[in-house]
Structure 1
Amino acid sequence: MKNSRALVMLTIAVLAGLAAVSFASRWLLQTSSGAVTPVAVASGDISLGQPLNPNLIRMVSWPSASVPPGAFADGKALDGRVLLTSLAPGEPVLESKLAPQGTKGGLSAVIGAGHRAITVRVNDVVGVAGFALPGNYVDVIVNTQEAGKADAQQSISKIVLEKILVLAVAQQVSRDDTAPKVVNAVTLEVTPEQAEKLDLARSVGTLSLVLRNQVDKQTASTEGATKLSLLDMPASAPAPEPVQTVRTHYVARSAPKRNCIGVLSGVTGSVECF
């Protein structure tokens, strides 16, 4: 009984080994027999938004069994196409990394459908000390006078936009360089509604950018920071409404006219009125 079971296990092991050898031999045969496909790759570093031309593309022989989906076997088909992302030397050019046919080069090629690009002026502090780079996400804070407050000292800082993509810093759109750069302008990708909100925010106050984690999608619900909340002071009670005084005018009435006569009784006298 034991010998039969051992024989069965040995047979299974031999068959599994033969199958593995067969697959390995077939793969080696394909690669060694020249089963390759021409694939267009980047000849050097290519920035996003840049139109492709024959000088930026070279053809390489790629194993047919591992050609990436969307690769190009003809470099001429890429002439004039615009990249949506940066490419490193030797990286295959894929259809998913290209803007639609007919797209012109430049920043407009990398703006998402239904979005707009708006540029805001920043400094080394507002621009997160130069760490807000293309491809990063930021929140936008506005500092302005609190609504309904006549006192100019009653200001408020509030996050008005969240998870906004940085398209470019100054005129740079490359996302490969991670070194901080202090610039005077940052271009952000926003929806039309966000563009209106951002334009109003910069007209009524000062803007600041807050760098956030690229994979953080949570929305922060805040009430904004005021001078009272900053100093942890209780809000002042509303002033009581003034009491309206009702003035009543009294008209003086003259006493009714009375007739009086003198009365003499013995040695005493009196006055009687009626």
Structure 2
Amino acid sequence: MKNKRAVIVMALAILFGLAAVVMASRWLLTQPAANAGRIVVAAVDIDIGQRLTPEMFKLVEWPAHSVPKGAFDDPKKINGRVLRTSILLGEPLSEAKLAPAGTLGGLSALITEGKRAITVRVNDVIGVAGFALPGNYVDIIVSTETVAPAQPEPGAPRQQSISKIVLERILVLAVAQEVNRDETKPRVVNAVTLEVTPEQAEMLDLARSVGKLSLALRNQVDPAAGQTLGATKQNLLPAATPTLRPVAMPVPAPRPRVQAPRPAPQRDCVKVINGLHASQECF
């Protein structure tokens, strides 16, 4: 009887001990760490250019030694701000991902200070088969006719076709009305919006009025400039150098051989004097 009572007491002690451990571990997990802070992260996926509200974010515990630079600790501080880049669920929000305060939503929030946005008409060929997506860099090629000089050289054509890269490493801000930079699937559209400087905007506007534009997609991390002179018909299709065939020279007819007259055989001659007459006798 005493052994049975002791076993029950031990079982109850073990049960209460386990319950105490479980409750203590849960309480410790709910308590913030001494070296942790609370920062704002996205509660949903948010697209680029969208105006923010506090309901789109939440506060989470974050290790104090790895808090992102410019992170926020209160969702109310970002009310009305505009995103410059898309963020995903659980991603921390920082000042670098926001447009300047007071910026309206939409494409204008994506334009870098001091630059402009200009739209050019494209098709499936000019638009690199739809691979020129927001966030990519392209080169602008114009195909036009050169202006003849005031005093052209004799025989030179008055005009000649030329294709030349006029602008390099131009950022694609949007295709059609889409500015989302998270897509990788090509999209064939009829217009592409580019980010350029004011001087580049003038060049681009002139280029599309004097010739046909094409886009050349380039590597994202390649800043090297392409030094080209442009392609013309002369250097695209150089004139072939005619090959000189050997000409058979007429063989002159052999001249008839003229035999030299044989010298007369040498003869011995004697001069004969007969009175007043003299004669010569040879033999």
The alignment's TM-score, normalised by the length of structure 2, stands at 0.68
Aligned to 1:137: 137
2-side partners of 1:32 and 1:98: how far apart?
Answer: 29
**Alignment partners' CA distance in 1, 2:57 and 2:123:** 38
Runs (5+) with no aligned partner, structure 2: 1-30, 150-155, 241-283
Give the letter aligned to residue 126 of structure 1. Answer: I
1:75 is matched with: 75
Letter in 1 for 2:181: R
Contact residue 145 and residue 152 of structure 1 kept, 8 A: no
Question: Could you give the per-residue CA deviations for residues 163-216 of structure 1, whole angstroms, max 9, x where no partner exists?
Answer: 000000001111101110000000000000000000000001110000001111
The match for 1:40 is 40
**Seq. identity, %:** 64
Q: Secondary structure at the residue paired with 1:144?
A: strand
CA contact (8 A) 2:41 2:60 kept: yes
Cα displacement (A) at 1:32: 7.4
How far did residue 152 of structure 1 move? 8.3
Instruction: Compute the RMSD of aligned alpha carbons.
Output: 1.9
One-letter identity of the residue aligned with 1:36: A
Alignment of 1:137-176 (within 5 A): 137-148=137-148, 154-176=160-182
Instruction: Please state if 1:224 is matched with 2:230.
Output: yes
- How many residue pairs match? The answer is 204
SS at match of 2:89: coil
Alpha-carbon distance between aligned partners in 1 of 2:167 and 2:186, rounded to the nearest angstrom: 23
What CA distance in whole angstroms lies between the structure 1 residues aligned with 2:74 and 2:211?
A: 53
Q: SS of 1:228's equivalent?
A: helix
Mapped to 1, the partners of 2:109 and 2:58 lie a distance apart of 23
Which of 205, 213, 229 is matched with 2:219 structurally?
213
Report the AA paired with residue 84 of structure 2. Answer: L
- Residue 248 of structure 2 is matched in structure 1 by none
Cα distance change, pair 231–198 in 1 and its aligned pair in 2 (3 A): same
- Residue 239 (structure 2) aligns with: 233
For the residue of structure 1 that corresponds to 2:44, the secondary structure is coil
- Is the 8 Å Cα contact of residues 48 and 86 (structure 1) preserved in structure 2? yes
SS at structure 1 position matched to 2:209: helix
Task: Confirm or deny: 8 A CA contact 1:143 1:207 kept in the other structure.
Answer: yes
In structure 2, relative to structure 1, the CA distance for the partners of 1:76 and 1:152 (3 Å cut) is farther
- Please name the residue that 1:87 is paired with: 87
1: CA distance, partners of 2:48 / 2:80: 13
Q: Which runs of 5+ in 1 are unaligned?
A: 1-30, 235-274
Aligned: 1:180 with 2:157: no
Contact 2:148 2:159 in 1 (8 A): no
Task: Give 1 or 2 for the bigger CA radius of gyration.
Answer: 2
User: What residue is the counterpart of 1:112 in the other structure?
Assistant: 112
In the alignment, the residues of structure 2 paired with residue 38 and residue 193 of structure 1 have an alpha-carbon distance, to the nearest angstrom, of: 46
Equivalent position SS for 1:187? strand
Q: TM-score, normalised by structure 1?
A: 0.71
Give the distance between the partners of 1:109 and 1:222, measured in 2 at CA. Answer: 35
1:41 counterpart letter in structure 2: V
Q: 1:151 to 1:57 in 2, by over 3 A?
A: farther
SS of the aligned residue for 2:119 comes to: strand
Name the CA distance, whole Å, in 1 between partners of 2:34 and 2:65. Answer: 11
- Tell me if the contact between 2:147 and 2:159 (Cα under 8 Å) persists in the aligned partners: no
Give SS of 2:214's match. Answer: strand
Counterparts of 2:78 and 2:65, CA distance in 1: 23
